[in-house]
Amino acid sequence: MSSTEQTPRPTRLAAAAGVALVEALGLLAGGVYMLVRTLLDGGSGGGDLTSGVTGGVTVIALGLIPLAAARGLWRMRSWSRGPAVITQVLALPVAWQMLQTEGVIPYGIAVAVLAVAGLVLLLNPATTEALGIRRPGQEA
């Protein structure tokens, strides 16, 4: 296959990349919000400045994982499925906690729907095949 030819990207793989991108953007926006709010409050809102900044920076760093996975999925790189699946699995308990908290239930529903949809898309045989991932016992 020449360098100009490219294997067509399955719709499920493109959708999985989209799910990972939405999650990444959500985490990045949430981290920036936490960081800006903490810095503007100066830790005076009953919160600790150090923990607020640390939390914001951590959420931003966590947002880079699904962002890298989304890029890898879009470029059909097999390594990207692992971080994407881990992101979906970790999103499920977060969604559960959000569903238990008054005021954020709609966000919890959105996170749960994205996580389940992401898992379904990522574990689909068409996605696995497009990424060149072999099943156990499958010949090369």
pLDDT, tens digit, 9 for 90 and up, residues 53-100: 999 999 999 999 999 999 999 999 999 999 999 999 999 999 999 999
Q: To which residue do tokens 């971080």 refer?
A: 83
Q: To which residue do tokens 């399955």 refer?
A: 10
In a domain, 82, yes or no: yes
Looking at per-residue confidence, does 55 or 6 come out higher?
55
What does pTM read for this prediction? 0.87
Please count the structural domains in the chain: 1
Residue 92 · residue 99 · CB < 8 Å: no
In a domain, 68, yes or no: yes
**126 vs 104: CA distance, rounded Å:** 35
In a domain, 3, yes or no: no
pLDDT, tens digit, 9 for 90 and up, residues 13-63: 999 999 999 999 999 999 999 999 999 987 666 668 889 999 999 999 999
CB atoms within 10 A of CB 52: 19
In a domain, 50, yes or no: yes
